[in-house]
Amino acid sequence: MADTFLARGHVLPLDRPYIMGILNVTPDSFSDGDRYFDPSAALARAKEMEAQGADILDVGGQSTRPGYTAIPQEEEWERLEAVLPAVLREVRVPVSVDTFYPWVAQKALELGAHIINDVSGFPNEMMEAVAGSGCGCIVMCPTGGVPDIFAHVKGFFEERLAAAQRYHIQKERLCFDPGVGFGKTLEENLALIARVDKTRLPGIAYLMAASRKRVTGAPCGDPPFEERLPATLAAHTAALLGGADLLRVHDVAASRQAAQMAAALKKHIL
Protein backbone atom coordinates (compact mmCIF):
# COMPACT_ATOMS: atom_id res chain seq x y z
CA MET A 1 0.00 0.00 0.00
CA ALA A 2 1.27 3.46 -0.89
CA ASP A 3 2.15 6.00 1.78
CA THR A 4 -0.67 8.47 2.35
CA PHE A 5 -1.40 12.01 3.46
CA LEU A 6 -4.48 12.23 5.67
CA ALA A 7 -6.54 15.42 5.74
CA ARG A 8 -9.56 15.10 7.98
CA GLY A 9 -11.48 12.44 6.11
CA HIS A 10 -9.58 12.83 2.85
CA VAL A 11 -7.01 10.14 2.02
CA LEU A 12 -4.35 11.12 -0.53
CA PRO A 13 -2.17 8.14 -1.54
CA LEU A 14 1.33 9.33 -2.33
CA ASP A 15 1.47 7.43 -5.61
CA ARG A 16 0.96 10.49 -7.83
CA PRO A 17 1.59 14.24 -7.64
CA TYR A 18 -1.03 16.56 -6.14
CA ILE A 19 -1.70 20.15 -7.14
CA MET A 20 -2.54 22.69 -4.42
CA GLY A 21 -4.10 25.83 -5.87
CA ILE A 22 -3.32 29.14 -4.16
CA LEU A 23 -6.24 31.36 -3.17
CA ASN A 24 -5.00 34.56 -1.53
CA VAL A 25 -7.84 36.60 -0.07
CA THR A 26 -5.48 39.49 0.62
CA PRO A 27 -4.98 43.00 -0.78
CA ASP A 28 -1.17 42.70 -0.81
CA SER A 29 0.16 39.25 -1.75
CA PHE A 30 3.30 39.44 -3.89
CA SER A 31 1.82 37.99 -7.07
CA ASP A 32 -1.97 38.17 -7.03
CA GLY A 33 -2.76 40.58 -4.20
CA ASP A 34 -6.22 42.19 -4.41
CA ARG A 35 -7.43 39.95 -7.27
CA TYR A 36 -9.48 37.69 -5.00
CA PHE A 37 -9.96 39.92 -1.95
CA ASP A 38 -13.67 40.22 -2.79
CA PRO A 39 -15.50 37.10 -1.46
CA SER A 40 -17.45 36.52 -4.68
CA ALA A 41 -14.23 36.71 -6.73
CA ALA A 42 -12.55 34.33 -4.28
CA LEU A 43 -15.33 31.76 -4.58
CA ALA A 44 -15.31 31.99 -8.37
CA ARG A 45 -11.55 31.47 -8.38
CA ALA A 46 -11.85 28.47 -6.03
CA LYS A 47 -14.38 26.80 -8.33
CA GLU A 48 -12.26 27.65 -11.37
CA MET A 49 -9.16 26.03 -9.87
CA GLU A 50 -11.12 22.94 -8.90
CA ALA A 51 -12.40 22.66 -12.47
CA GLN A 52 -8.83 23.02 -13.76
CA GLY A 53 -7.78 20.01 -11.70
CA ALA A 54 -6.64 21.31 -8.32
CA ASP A 55 -6.51 18.51 -5.75
CA ILE A 56 -6.38 20.91 -2.79
CA LEU A 57 -7.17 24.60 -2.33
CA ASP A 58 -4.96 26.66 -0.01
CA VAL A 59 -6.74 29.75 1.31
CA GLY A 60 -4.67 32.50 2.92
CA GLY A 61 -5.78 35.71 4.58
CA GLN A 62 -2.33 37.21 5.18
CA SER A 63 0.52 37.97 2.82
CA THR A 64 3.86 36.42 3.74
CA ARG A 65 5.77 38.08 0.91
CA PRO A 66 9.35 39.19 1.70
CA GLY A 67 9.25 42.13 4.09
CA TYR A 68 5.61 41.66 5.04
CA THR A 69 4.09 43.15 8.18
CA ALA A 70 1.84 40.72 10.02
CA ILE A 71 -1.78 41.74 10.52
CA PRO A 72 -3.57 40.84 13.78
CA GLN A 73 -5.25 37.44 14.03
CA GLU A 74 -8.69 39.05 14.24
CA GLU A 75 -8.18 40.84 10.93
CA GLU A 76 -6.85 37.70 9.28
CA TRP A 77 -9.87 35.75 10.50
CA GLU A 78 -12.26 38.44 9.26
CA ARG A 79 -10.87 37.95 5.75
CA LEU A 80 -11.02 34.15 5.95
CA GLU A 81 -14.47 34.01 7.53
CA ALA A 82 -15.88 35.98 4.60
CA VAL A 83 -14.74 33.29 2.15
CA LEU A 84 -14.29 29.92 3.87
CA PRO A 85 -17.92 28.88 4.46
CA ALA A 86 -18.80 29.28 0.77
CA VAL A 87 -15.62 27.60 -0.44
CA LEU A 88 -16.11 24.64 1.90
CA ARG A 89 -19.71 24.34 0.77
CA GLU A 90 -19.10 24.71 -2.97
CA VAL A 91 -15.96 22.64 -3.63
CA ARG A 92 -15.35 18.92 -3.15
CA VAL A 93 -11.56 18.91 -2.75
CA PRO A 94 -9.79 19.37 0.61
CA VAL A 95 -9.43 22.98 1.74
CA SER A 96 -6.25 24.14 3.45
CA VAL A 97 -5.96 27.31 5.50
CA ASP A 98 -2.64 29.15 5.46
CA THR A 99 -2.14 30.68 8.91
CA PHE A 100 0.43 30.88 11.70
CA TYR A 101 -2.12 31.82 14.36
CA PRO A 102 -3.38 28.85 16.48
CA TRP A 103 -6.62 30.72 17.23
CA VAL A 104 -7.30 31.24 13.52
CA ALA A 105 -6.51 27.58 12.84
CA GLN A 106 -9.03 26.49 15.46
CA LYS A 107 -11.70 28.80 14.02
CA ALA A 108 -11.04 27.47 10.51
CA LEU A 109 -11.25 23.87 11.71
CA GLU A 110 -14.54 24.63 13.42
CA LEU A 111 -15.90 25.67 10.02
CA GLY A 112 -14.68 22.42 8.47
CA ALA A 113 -11.22 23.12 7.01
CA HIS A 114 -9.20 19.99 6.26
CA ILE A 115 -5.57 21.17 6.41
CA ILE A 116 -3.59 23.80 8.30
CA ASN A 117 -0.57 25.22 6.46
CA ASP A 118 1.74 27.06 8.86
CA VAL A 119 4.72 28.92 7.38
CA SER A 120 6.15 29.62 10.85
CA GLY A 121 7.18 25.98 11.30
CA PHE A 122 4.17 24.55 13.14
CA PRO A 123 5.39 25.33 16.68
CA ASN A 124 4.10 23.39 19.66
CA GLU A 125 1.29 25.88 20.25
CA MET A 126 -0.08 25.15 16.79
CA MET A 127 0.30 21.40 17.24
CA GLU A 128 -1.62 21.59 20.50
CA ALA A 129 -4.38 23.63 18.83
CA VAL A 130 -4.98 21.14 15.99
CA ALA A 131 -3.93 17.83 17.57
CA GLY A 132 -7.39 16.36 18.09
CA SER A 133 -8.92 17.59 14.84
CA GLY A 134 -7.59 14.98 12.42
CA CYS A 135 -6.50 17.72 10.03
CA GLY A 136 -3.52 17.54 7.75
CA CYS A 137 -0.55 19.61 8.95
CA ILE A 138 1.80 21.31 6.49
CA VAL A 139 5.01 22.03 8.37
CA MET A 140 7.38 24.49 6.72
CA CYS A 141 11.01 25.17 7.62
CA PRO A 142 11.17 29.00 7.77
CA THR A 143 14.92 29.45 8.27
CA GLY A 144 18.18 29.10 6.39
CA GLY A 145 21.45 30.91 5.83
CA VAL A 146 23.40 28.00 7.34
CA PRO A 147 26.57 26.08 6.43
CA ASP A 148 24.63 22.95 5.40
CA ILE A 149 21.08 23.67 4.25
CA PHE A 150 20.24 20.00 3.75
CA ALA A 151 21.22 19.03 7.29
CA HIS A 152 19.43 22.09 8.66
CA VAL A 153 16.12 21.39 6.92
CA LYS A 154 16.18 17.65 7.51
CA GLY A 155 17.04 18.19 11.18
CA PHE A 156 14.14 20.62 11.48
CA PHE A 157 11.78 18.05 9.99
CA GLU A 158 13.03 15.35 12.32
CA GLU A 159 12.51 17.58 15.36
CA ARG A 160 8.98 18.53 14.25
CA LEU A 161 8.15 14.86 13.62
CA ALA A 162 9.20 14.04 17.18
CA ALA A 163 7.07 16.93 18.47
CA ALA A 164 4.06 15.76 16.46
CA GLN A 165 4.37 12.30 17.96
CA ARG A 166 4.29 13.84 21.45
CA TYR A 167 0.96 15.46 20.51
CA HIS A 168 -0.31 12.16 19.06
CA ILE A 169 -0.33 13.52 15.50
CA GLN A 170 0.48 10.52 13.31
CA LYS A 171 3.00 10.95 10.54
CA GLU A 172 0.32 10.38 7.88
CA ARG A 173 -1.17 13.74 8.88
CA LEU A 174 2.13 15.54 8.26
CA CYS A 175 3.43 17.16 5.09
CA PHE A 176 6.86 18.77 5.15
CA ASP A 177 7.77 21.87 3.13
CA PRO A 178 11.44 22.99 2.94
CA GLY A 179 10.39 26.64 2.87
CA VAL A 180 11.77 27.84 -0.46
CA GLY A 181 11.82 31.64 -0.36
CA PHE A 182 11.77 31.90 3.43
CA GLY A 183 15.01 32.98 5.14
CA LYS A 184 17.23 31.26 2.58
CA THR A 185 19.80 32.35 0.03
CA LEU A 186 19.23 31.89 -3.69
CA GLU A 187 21.71 29.01 -3.77
CA GLU A 188 20.01 27.34 -0.82
CA ASN A 189 16.64 27.64 -2.53
CA LEU A 190 17.99 26.17 -5.77
CA ALA A 191 19.66 23.32 -3.91
CA LEU A 192 16.48 22.44 -2.02
CA ILE A 193 14.45 22.34 -5.24
CA ALA A 194 17.07 20.24 -7.05
CA ARG A 195 17.69 17.72 -4.26
CA VAL A 196 14.44 16.87 -2.51
CA ASP A 197 15.96 13.48 -1.72
CA LYS A 198 18.39 15.17 0.67
CA THR A 199 15.65 16.35 3.03
CA ARG A 200 12.63 14.08 2.48
CA LEU A 201 11.75 11.77 5.40
CA PRO A 202 10.46 8.31 4.44
CA GLY A 203 6.69 7.88 4.44
CA ILE A 204 5.86 11.57 4.98
CA ALA A 205 4.30 13.78 2.32
CA TYR A 206 6.52 16.50 0.86
CA LEU A 207 5.38 19.84 -0.56
CA MET A 208 7.29 22.12 -2.91
CA ALA A 209 6.12 25.73 -3.19
CA ALA A 210 8.30 27.71 -5.60
CA SER A 211 5.51 29.19 -7.72
CA ARG A 212 6.47 32.65 -9.09
CA LYS A 213 8.94 33.20 -6.23
CA ARG A 214 12.24 35.06 -6.60
CA VAL A 215 14.09 31.77 -7.07
CA THR A 216 12.17 31.31 -10.34
CA GLY A 217 13.01 34.81 -11.48
CA ALA A 218 16.67 35.28 -10.54
CA PRO A 219 18.18 32.70 -12.96
CA CYS A 220 15.98 34.03 -15.80
CA GLY A 221 16.65 37.77 -15.79
CA ASP A 222 14.00 38.61 -13.16
CA PRO A 223 10.88 38.69 -15.34
CA PRO A 224 7.68 40.04 -13.73
CA PHE A 225 5.82 37.64 -11.41
CA GLU A 226 3.13 36.89 -13.98
CA GLU A 227 5.76 35.81 -16.54
CA ARG A 228 7.43 33.17 -14.36
CA LEU A 229 5.28 30.17 -15.27
CA PRO A 230 7.93 28.44 -17.43
CA ALA A 231 10.54 28.76 -14.68
CA THR A 232 8.02 27.59 -12.09
CA LEU A 233 7.19 24.50 -14.16
CA ALA A 234 10.90 23.69 -14.52
CA ALA A 235 11.50 24.04 -10.78
CA HIS A 236 8.49 21.99 -9.81
CA THR A 237 9.28 19.27 -12.35
CA ALA A 238 12.76 18.92 -10.86
CA ALA A 239 11.22 18.70 -7.39
CA LEU A 240 8.74 16.02 -8.46
CA LEU A 241 11.46 13.94 -10.08
CA GLY A 242 13.43 14.27 -6.85
CA GLY A 243 10.60 12.99 -4.67
CA ALA A 244 8.11 15.80 -3.94
CA ASP A 245 4.44 14.81 -3.67
CA LEU A 246 2.53 18.11 -3.63
CA LEU A 247 3.00 21.38 -5.51
CA ARG A 248 1.58 24.69 -4.29
CA VAL A 249 0.85 26.73 -7.42
CA HIS A 250 -0.80 29.80 -8.88
CA ASP A 251 -1.30 28.28 -12.35
CA VAL A 252 -3.29 25.10 -11.83
CA ALA A 253 -3.99 23.84 -15.35
CA ALA A 254 -0.42 24.17 -16.64
CA SER A 255 1.02 22.79 -13.41
CA ARG A 256 -1.26 19.77 -13.49
CA GLN A 257 -0.23 18.91 -17.05
CA ALA A 258 3.47 19.33 -16.25
CA ALA A 259 3.09 17.19 -13.12
CA GLN A 260 1.38 14.43 -15.06
CA MET A 261 4.24 14.39 -17.55
CA ALA A 262 6.81 14.38 -14.76
CA ALA A 263 5.04 11.42 -13.12
CA ALA A 264 5.10 9.50 -16.40
CA LEU A 265 8.80 10.19 -16.84
CA LYS A 266 9.64 9.28 -13.25
CA LYS A 267 8.49 5.69 -13.85
CA HIS A 268 11.35 5.33 -16.33
CA ILE A 269 14.09 6.82 -14.15
CA LEU A 270 16.16 4.14 -12.45
Distance CA 101, CA 125 (A): 9
Cβ pair 144, 182 in contact under 8 A: yes
Cβ pair 178, 149 in contact under 8 A: no
Mark whether 248 is an active-site residue. Answer: yes
Start-end of H helices in 53-183: 73-81, 84-90, 102-111, 124-130, 149-166
Residues 6+ apart with CB under 8 A from 74: none
Mark whether 92 is an active-site residue. Answer: no
Catalytic residue chosen out of the listed positions 212, 213, 228, 256? 213
Catalytic residue chosen out of the listed positions 173, 212, 228, 248? 248
Q: Which of 229, 140, 227, 130 is nearest to 192 (CA)?
A: 140
Please list the active-site residues.
Answer: 213, 248
